[in-house]
Structure 1
Amino acid sequence: MAPRPSAPSFEHHAPGRLGTGEPAPRVSWTVPAADPDYRQRAARLEVVLTSPDGTEEVTTHELGGAEQVLVPWPARPLRSRERASVRVRVRDRDWGPWSEPGRIEAGLLDPADWRAELIGPAWEEEAAALRRPARLRREFTLPVGVVRARLYLTGHGLAEAEVNGRRAGDEELTPGWTSYRHRLRYAAFDVTEHVRPGRNAIGIWLGDGWWRGRLGFGGGTLDVYGDRLAALAQLEAVTADGGVVTVATDGSWTAGYGPILSSGLYDGERFDARLHDPDWSRPGHDGGSWSPVRVEGPPGVPLVAPQGPPVRCVEELRPVGIVDKGEGRFIIDFGQNHSGRLRVRARGPRGAVVRMRHAEILVDGEPATGPLREARATDELVLSGEPIEWEPRFTVHGYRYAEVSGWEGGLGPDDVVSRVLHTDMRRTGWFECSDGLVNRLHENVVWSLRSNFVDIPTDCPQRDERLGWTGDIQVFAPTAAFLYDTAGMLSSWLRDLAAEQAEQDWVPPWVPYFPLEPFRSMPKDPYAVWSDAAVLTPDVLHERTGDRGVLHAQYDSARAHLEHVARAAGGDRICRGTEQLGDWLDPNAPPENPFEATTDKYLVATAYFAHTARRTAAIADAVGEHADAARYRALGDEVAAAYAREFLPDGRPKDDTQTAYALTTVFGLWPDDGARRAGTARLAELVREAGGRISTGFAGTPAVADALSMGGHTEEAYLLLQCTECPSWLYTVLAGGTTVWERWDSLRPDGALNTSSMTSFNHYALGSVADWLHRVVAGIAPAGPGYRRIRFRPEPGGSLTWAEAHHDTPYGRASAAWRLSGGELETTVTVPVGAEGDVVLPDGTSRRVRHGTHRFTCGFAPGRPGSAADGGDGDTAGDTGGDTDGAANA
């Protein structure tokens, strides 16, 4: 009998997700275990659609073949508010048992479903002057027999709702940050247990958030999207007889000030507990002053359901150290740099102020606030005289250390906890090896990802910036997609990228985009590495998840970007004369002028032009645009030839830098094999001459280890990895870093803080080396979209005696592990059901394997030249087969 599958999932949503926006969500399932000879030959899906009034419609659908990932929706499209429950069974020779059901619930799919309007406080001039956020409130009556209640919520700014004194859901920073000029996301909450027959009340807190709060560097900009806060909410209660009571934001609501005096993502929150009545959102409340609201009407842009998970508190960190500085001031160490905020249990006299200031590092035992630039990162609690447990609602900070002042009495570990906040993604990837420092480096990469995936992929979580820089996520996307299920979140962000690109006729350097100097005054040229996110980020998502839909959704954006690069480069195909950021933060560049990297920025840009053209061609093939694919392949070849003429005049780069050799190698731009061998040999020589110290910035770092491995110089790649001198990855670990730094020397070897205005201790871009750890050190990589074929090719080296990695692919968990002992290498791989693996061992032997666990042994002499690693310009988009030597997308 065939095995039992897992409960199905839908699109990239978590199980049981409410308020989804796809009327025909694609369905996926895994088979946890099966006999060695099992192969899915058909699947049967039972779909139960339940309308809000409880009416059920059951259909069964049989599908032939082996597809089990993002299978097209087989039933009729979902209608607004409908719930779907889907079971699946599979057939080999016989049908197996039904799975547990997977469930999903549609949101409001038609604009006509919305009755709510945006509302805010009516005292406009006063509110604008004080910048004090208000609260909104309404009472309503419900009949007996409510069986289901949903609250749909969004706003201009941030919104948090309470129904009868109970918070709706556990999401943070709702509705998140989208390109507000083009679309506004909403959230859906199950409030069935919150409501009751008779009188009810709903209240909504408002916060500045990204809508009108300070955004950007150079002091930032206020009111980027507007200066008035507003909420849009629609509560729908369904009774057993099918009746519906709708409570929507309109002119019947009231507004009033609450205890939040100010609220900002950069500066923090100020809360006066003397002004807080915990019963304010309960029926019959008569405290406070409530006034009529201002009705703004519909938002004017499409309301969209979430594609990815929300921001939540995902973990709590307890203090690992508390230093009493005297006079009610304490320095708290949480042991880990992260994004979050404090929850305190405070006490003290009425009117006393407890201040909480946040910092990434200490200098001379005190918080170093220089890296914050103009972000205050300070929360303030005005006490009422009664004990209180409190945390801010509408802010988030990046920190390891917190200074608490104004504290009454001693401060113990039970008085404060740090609440870790980020997008609540599912962990999918793990790595470990015999070198504890490398393990800590990998953990630092994980924490930098977590800290900077706060609704959008940001550059840093602590200072006056926190923008969706396109280049950072472009180079880091392969690492991110291994470690976490980022597909839903990044697909949503890419929609905003396409919207901003269409408006600006340019892929901007950050998304959502608003102009800031000096970029406001710079020409709208396509920035290599950064603007290439329009092509390379959806390409990576397809490669890692098998989701061809993201390629279809982003194809016009990708094509428009490539055409922009071609126009800017001109007929000679060289990106000279365009504005470029180049190999940003090359450690050899002047600290205050990262534009002056040692590698020609036009070499970087032209190399990326060739690579992006080839990847766009692969994407075009994957989405069926074969004429475009042929044209873009020819363009890529033209650019590669031009690159060789301009930057490799004698077969080697004009710039004798690690970045120049790395990009030329990984992007497949050497004119012939002889030049490639000589070039990678010279790269290895440069690394040896530097003693393993790295000399690359944002452009070169993702490529340098791969380039060495591809050239058979794996030992030099390990020399880079395991170097402990500045600049290097392990230098940051030995210097106490618990996240990846923006600069290789954010903290200098003499212990001094890098005083540049751009010094962050929590950036993920230079952590892109973790992708090489997964693919080359552990030896697990996709050989076909979505890991339907997996390449296992471990390359031991350095001082490592063992390494292993695990990844939850769309088909289930895949693993690779190796161990060196007595001149023998033992390799163990696990292939999930539905996939197959290509195992390539360092002695050159190879074997194709099906699902299950397989062990291999071969001789291995440490220090010998390694085999070629995954990298280069293999056209994996749309590929479902091919030989075992095909290269994965770098």
Structure 2
Amino acid sequence: MTVTVSHPHFEHHRIALGIGERRPRLSWRVTDAPEGWRQSAYRVETTRGSSAPEVFDVVSAEQVLVPWPGTPLRSRERVSVRVSVRGADGVWADASPAAVVEAGLFEPSDWQAQPVGGSWPEDADSDDRRPPLVRREFTVDGEVAKARLYASAHGLYEAELNGARIGDDALSPGWTVYRERLRYYTYDVTDLIQQGRNAIGAWLGDGWYRGRLGWRGGFRNLFGTDLGFIGQLELTFRDGRREIVATDAAWRAAVGPILRSGIYDGEDYDARDEWDGWTRADFDDGEWHPVTVGRRDPATLVAPTAPPVRCTQDVPPASVLTTPSGRRILDFGQNLVGRVRVRTIGPAGTTVTVRTAEVLQDGELYTRPLRGARSTDSYTLAGREDGETWEPRFTFHGFRYAELSGWPGDLDAAVAAGDVVARVHHTDLERTGWFESSDPLVNRLHENVLWGMRGNFVDIPTDCPQRDERVGWTGDIQVFGPTASFLYDVSGMLGGWLRDVAVEQLPDGTVPWYVPVIPAHDMWTPIRPGAAWGDVATFLPWTLFQRFGDRGMLEAQFDSARRWVDLVDRLAGDDHLWDEGFQLGDWLDPAAPPQDPADARTDRYLVATAYFARSSRITAWMAAELGLLEEEAHYATLADAIAAAFADEFLLPDGRMTSDAQTAYALALEFGLIPDAERRRAAAARLATLVHDAGNRIATGFVGTPLVTDALSRSGELDAAYDLLLERECPSWLYQVGMDATTIWERWDSMLPDGTVNPGTMTSFNHYALGAVADWMHRVVAGLAPAEPGYRRIRFAPRPGGGLTSAAARHLTPYGEAAIDWRLEDGGMRVRVAVPVGATAVLDIEGREPEDLGHGVHERILPLQAVMDIA
């Protein structure tokens, strides 16, 4: 067998166009190699323009995120890269296919563009401000070799060139800490340029920048009152010339057909106000006005680290319903995030209105859980004889059901013809993880977790996608990070978001509850330290390092992690107990009252001190990885002291906790806070008893849920862990499945057994936090986990139970696909695993000695008695 190498990847980019790294690290996969083959060296060949290739040989077995060789990239520079590898036998493999990386604009002086927008009077406090269109014509007088558009906006934008849409991204440039970091995207528009006259233009929308944000009515104009497109079109000619068409005073603006647009409220569009052909060069813009030119510090413009939001799937209606009141509702069969696209024919002035919601109650669309979000789109027809197709541009909704009113004609026939579809939108991450088992309900639970993640990874990791909130709650992604990192390659997206966490972190080390911060926080949600939420500064970078092997992530985030732990150390004082101040605790414990979700069974200061201990320990681990020996010793000593203080305060001599609750035991066991083996055994047994006494119903909130099954299975109480997973009565994961849930709910009982919605004002049907159990399903039920950072070494350790007869998981690691499939059959247990080249593995099955494995496919059969012992 020959050795085959994939094309290289750059940093965490799926497409390396317009990247922001001057020295992008390289990764590759060895897709085929003989048994026992090991990389001993690698060769990188770089070609810059017409120059001769440069070759760099490095003696190293590393193939993930290795340093960039040679000189750093320059702005706009395009480099072709190939990789070859050498085995221990000294033989070089054939070089990989070439991959091309192209730099973005690194220097502030590279930018000429400034924001341009409308110039007409507007009511800054109204949601009815009409966003403008902006355009400009230019002439091309030579053969263009390359054309790039670098684009961003105050607000949201979609750009067009010569009548064609540029790119397929949505909701760009997304939501960052705008004052410090505004993303720009790079587009290859070479094929859209024509000789002679050309026209470029952009739609604008309020988005997060200017639109209403926040609950209890929210706030407008939080980042500015203006809307402005920032566009820099650069033309490189065959003769070496470069011309720039940048947004400036030469651009023109007009009111467009969007009447109003908002993230929460939806979009209203009047097709009668369209300007036909407005981004073509033959358009007469005599009725348009000069633009208003704004200001943007070009030093704040940054290239993205992750893919943009895109439409990734179309979902047709599963059924058309008529409600008791006679309204027509489409059921898409899946709670999803995106918008509805309609195609219809009708008289001019006819308005089709689309209202969306996640659930029905009493057969009608039920919108109370949306709180202040209008979640309504409307389209007024122009009356075109050949029909009209429309979907909103600058909004998104979380919904399963869509109520349509004003439809001209037969709605049933239109649905049958495919004229109404739901379009799924989320950050276009690469799918990397799969799971299945012999239990269809467990498989549906996993699908619900997947759909919940898709719906809440809309540019930032949000808490919910439907109501007047949709912000980046830090505690939610802290607990869900391991699950997210298995299902998708979130390294670039969450790495970029963590940069915003560090930017928003206060000088004293306080990490906000959500990032980006809504600037009106001092009026309604003051920034203050909070356990589990602030601990995202330590937990998430460590998770990303463990799953993706990116030590640079630790380097970038270590100061943020350290400052957070130092703050809590000051707050806790000499006794090392964080027992004062506001805390959310084990948020949404199922026993908490509907309107007081922080009132959990577990002492909130037990939670806070446990997290203080764990974050200190993680910070010590981070320091060790970075070679910071003094810091490692300091934080390890601190972690030991906190653990001792925790045990003295919250652990009783018999192994019980002062809070006799599932979350308390899960925290103590999983965070290593019980100092002796006897009390650890007692605590695990007590946790199992609590589960049994509760009828196997879950009794944990956001904090305890990701830990409780691991606390049981790791402590010899595997049966109790499966009992929790497979319980079907409320509250439980499978109760939600039994109630026709297609995503994970915010509350265990968001819908009550009688089919009515929980009366709490925080009742979302798409919240991923409680879906963090999927990480345990991947690692324990199927048995696939990293044993070393980045899956350099893989642990296959399935623990069958609960009556399951099979389970399987696949994960696309940085080295290639790792997989496991186990089945109880033919009087035994058959286990089949796949190890990618470059990684090693350990097969750990109870009843057998752990076995080291090299790359390749391995199959083992465990005899019946051993299976009975472990299952």
Q: Is contact 1:355–1:404 with CA below 8 Å preserved after alignment?
A: yes
Q: Which moved more, 1:694-703 or 1:567-576?
A: 567-576
Indicate which of 686, 701, 707 corresponds to 1:703.
707
Q: Is contact 2:829–2:867 with CA below 8 Å preserved after alignment?
A: no
1:717 aligns with 2:721: yes
Structure 1: unaligned runs, 5 residues or longer: 868-890
What TM-score, normalized by structure 1, do the two folds share? 0.95
The CA deviation at 1:147 is: 1.5
Alignment partner, residue 731 of structure 1: 735
CA distance in 1, matches of 2:99, 2:864: 47
Alignment partner, residue 33 of structure 2: 34
The CA deviation at 1:415 is: 1.2
Alignment partner, residue 357 of structure 1: 355
Alignment partner, residue 467 of structure 1: 471
Alignment partner, residue 96 of structure 2: 99
The CA deviation at 1:857 is: 2.1
Per-residue CA deviation, residues 699-751 of structure 1 (Å, 9 max, x unaligned), is 00000000000111111100000000000000000100000000000000111
Q: Which amino acid aligns with 2:578?
A: C
Indicate which of 415, 437, 441 corresponds to 2:441.
437
Q: Is contact 1:328–1:408 with CA below 8 Å preserved after alignment?
A: no
The CA deviation at 1:505 is: 4.3
Q: Which amino acid aligns with 1:396?
A: F
* Aligned residue-pair number: 861
CA distance in 1, matches of 2:325, 2:532: 50
1:473-488, aligned counterparts within 5 Å? 473-488=477-492
1:129-148, aligned counterparts within 5 Å? 130-148=128-146
Alignment partner, residue 254 of structure 1: 252
Q: Is contact 2:10–2:27 with CA below 8 Å preserved after alignment?
A: yes
1:211-610, aligned counterparts within 5 Å? 211-286=209-284, 289-299=287-297, 302-324=300-322, 329-386=327-384, 387-411=387-411, 412-413=414-415, 414-502=418-506, 505-515=509-519, 524-610=527-613
CA distance in 1, matches of 2:252, 2:60: 58
CA distance in 2, matches of 1:788, 1:326: 58
Indicate which of 766, 771, 774 corresponds to 2:770.
766
Q: Is contact 1:712–1:865 with CA below 8 Å preserved after alignment?
A: no
Partner SS, residue 570 of structure 1: helix
Alignment partner, residue 47 of structure 1: 46
CA distance in 2, matches of 1:526, 1:858: 51
Q: Is contact 1:6–1:29 with CA below 8 Å preserved after alignment?
A: yes
Q: Is contact 1:184–1:301 with CA below 8 Å preserved after alignment?
A: no
CA distance in 1, matches of 2:17, 2:288: 32
Q: Which amino acid aligns with 2:73?
A: L
Q: Which amino acid aligns with 1:45?
A: V
Q: Is contact 1:329–1:406 with CA below 8 Å preserved after alignment?
A: no
Q: Which amino acid aligns with 1:434?
A: S
The CA deviation at 1:762 is: 0.3
Q: Which amino acid aligns with 1:775?
A: R
Per-residue CA deviation, residues 255-277 of structure 1 (Å, 9 max, x unaligned), is 11010010101100011000112
RMSD of the alignment, in Å?
1.7
Q: Is contact 2:116–2:247 with CA below 8 Å preserved after alignment?
A: yes
CA distance in 2, matches of 1:186, 1:624: 35
The CA deviation at 1:689 is: 1.2
Q: Is contact 1:587–1:695 with CA below 8 Å preserved after alignment?
A: yes
CA distance in 2, matches of 1:22, 1:469: 28
Shift of the 621–111 alpha-carbon distance from structure 1 to 2, 3 Å rule, reads: same
Q: Which moved more, 1:844-853 or 1:661-670?
A: 844-853
1:156 aligns with 2:159: no
Q: Which amino acid aligns with 1:856?
A: R
Shift of the 301–584 alpha-carbon distance from structure 1 to 2, 3 Å rule, reads: farther
Q: Which moved more, 1:305-314 or 1:221-230?
A: 221-230
CA distance in 2, matches of 1:137, 1:817: 56
Indicate which of 77, 80, 84 corresponds to 2:79.
84
CA distance in 2, matches of 1:659, 1:255: 57
Indicate which of 677, 683, 686 corresponds to 2:681.
677
Per-residue CA deviation, residues 366-409 of structure 1 (Å, 9 max, x unaligned), is 11101110101100101111221011110111001111110011
Q: Is contact 1:715–1:866 with CA below 8 Å preserved after alignment?
A: no
The CA deviation at 1:58 is: 1.9
The CA deviation at 1:529 is: 0.8
Alignment partner, residue 188 of structure 1: 186
CA distance in 2, matches of 1:737, 1:127: 40
Q: Is contact 2:656–2:686 with CA below 8 Å preserved after alignment?
A: no
The CA deviation at 1:523 is: 6.5
Partner SS, residue 671 of structure 1: coil
1:628-707, aligned counterparts within 5 Å? 628-650=631-653, 651-707=655-711
Alignment partner, residue 630 of structure 2: 627
Shift of the 863–695 alpha-carbon distance from structure 1 to 2, 3 Å rule, reads: farther
The CA deviation at 1:858 is: 2.1
Alignment partner, residue 744 of structure 1: 748
Shift of the 627–391 alpha-carbon distance from structure 1 to 2, 3 Å rule, reads: same
The CA deviation at 1:665 is: 0.4
Alignment partner, residue 847 of structure 1: 851
The CA deviation at 1:225 is: 0.7
Q: Is contact 1:797–1:862 with CA below 8 Å preserved after alignment?
A: no
What TM-score, normalized by structure 2, do the two folds share? 0.97
Q: Which moved more, 1:519-528 or 1:616-625?
A: 519-528
Q: Which amino acid aligns with 1:762?
A: N
Alignment partner, residue 888 of structure 1: none
Alignment partner, residue 107 of structure 2: 110
The CA deviation at 1:301 is: 5.3
Per-residue CA deviation, residues 832-877 of structure 1 (Å, 9 max, x unaligned), is 100000111111421111101111222356997759xxxxxxxxxx
Partner SS, residue 668 of structure 2: helix
Q: Is contact 1:534–1:554 with CA below 8 Å preserved after alignment?
A: yes
Structure 2: unaligned runs, 5 residues or longer: none
Indicate which of 200, 203, 223 corresponds to 1:202.
200
Q: Which amino acid aligns with 2:84?
A: R
CA distance in 2, matches of 1:735, 1:57: 64
Partner SS, residue 190 of structure 2: coil
Q: Is contact 2:2–2:32 with CA below 8 Å preserved after alignment?
A: no
Q: Which amino acid aligns with 1:757?
A: T
Per-residue CA deviation, residues 542-583 of structure 1 (Å, 9 max, x unaligned), is 000000011101111011011011111111111111211000
The CA deviation at 1:56 is: 3.9
Q: Is contact 1:787–1:809 with CA below 8 Å preserved after alignment?
A: yes
Q: Is contact 2:509–2:566 with CA below 8 Å preserved after alignment?
A: no
Percent identity over the alignment is 54
The CA deviation at 1:128 is: 6.4
Per-residue CA deviation, residues 643-700 of structure 1 (Å, 9 max, x unaligned), is 0011013232111100011110000111200000000011111111112100000000
Alignment partner, residue 817 of structure 1: 821
Q: Which amino acid aligns with 1:405?
A: S
The CA deviation at 1:198 is: 0.8
Shift of the 480–415 alpha-carbon distance from structure 1 to 2, 3 Å rule, reads: same
Q: Which moved more, 1:273-282 or 1:468-477?
A: 273-282
Shift of the 468–127 alpha-carbon distance from structure 1 to 2, 3 Å rule, reads: closer
Q: Which amino acid aligns with 1:104?
A: V
Runs of 4+ with >3 A deviation:
124-130, 324-329, 502-505, 519-525, 859-867
Shift of the 87–660 alpha-carbon distance from structure 1 to 2, 3 Å rule, reads: same
Indicate which of 787, 790, 807 corresponds to 2:791.
787
1:58 aligns with 2:53: yes
